[in-house]
Amino acid sequence: MAVAIEAPFHVLAVDDSLPDRKLIERLLKTSSFQVTTVDSGSKALEFLGLHDHEDSPISTQSDQQEVAVNLIITDYCMPGMTGYDLLKKIKESSYLRDIPVVIMSSDNIPSRINRCLEEGADEFFLKPVRLSDMSKLKPHILKSRCKEHYQQEQNLQSNSESNNSSNPTSENSSSSTSSNSHKRKAALVDRIQVVPE
């Protein structure tokens, strides 16, 4: 009998400072995350298959591996593209917008923190990042996965409903099943809440 083993969540860590990048990598690996590190926002976009001026993934030979990123954690202050700029690019992309993004900064500037959260950041960590901060990441990933699963189910349902619309006898059972399924999924999404510490 085969046992299914779930792959660890994959985090893309972006920081121009080598010591900070090594620290976040060590903390993430200690917390059982798979980690990829890059030193700039543009390299992060390249890794994700998105270039500065495009909204859809680039299809190249290296993309054949299809490395799924479950969360992006990025420094705010970086030369060239800041973490805030990277956040905006990700949230503007229909392909990437559902990936949770966490911003890190050494500066405790409330207006900066609020601006990042308003733009779609899921969390804002003050540096130095601690091991205890890592426990705040999984709820964002799980919530994102639940939303993704819910959207996939909705797409499947709408496809099956359009197929059933040609058969009027199946419409009543289909609509009650759809309603019950929608209620169960909505309850599941509501149960997965990010609880601030």
The per-residue pLDDT for range 72-115, each reduced to its tens digit, is: 999 999 999 999 999 999 999 998 999 999 999 999 999 999 99
Tokens of 25: 């990598």
> Which CATH class name applies to 10-51+66-147?
alpha beta
Q: Is the pLDDT of residue 21 over 90?
A: yes
Q: Domain coordinates of the chain in residue numbers?
A: 10-51+66-147
Q: Calculate mean pLDDT across residues 193-197.
A: 44
Which tokens belong to 145? 């996965």
Kindly tell me if the per-residue pLDDT of 49 is higher than 60: yes
Question: Residue 124 contacts by C-beta under 8 Å, 6 or more apart in sequence?
Answer: 102, 103, 104, 105, 113, 116, 117
Residue 188: the pLDDT is 42
Which whole-number Å values give the CA distances from 46 to 6, 20, 95, 165, in the listed order?
26, 21, 14, 43
- Output 40 or 67, whichever has higher pLDDT: 40
Three-state secondary structure readout of 69-90: CCEEEEECCCCCCCHHHHHHHH
Q: What confidence score (pLDDT) does residue 6 get?
A: 65
Q: How many residues does the chain have?
A: 197
> Tens digits of per-residue pLDDT, 119-160?
999 999 999 999 999 999 989 888 877 766 666 677 777 777
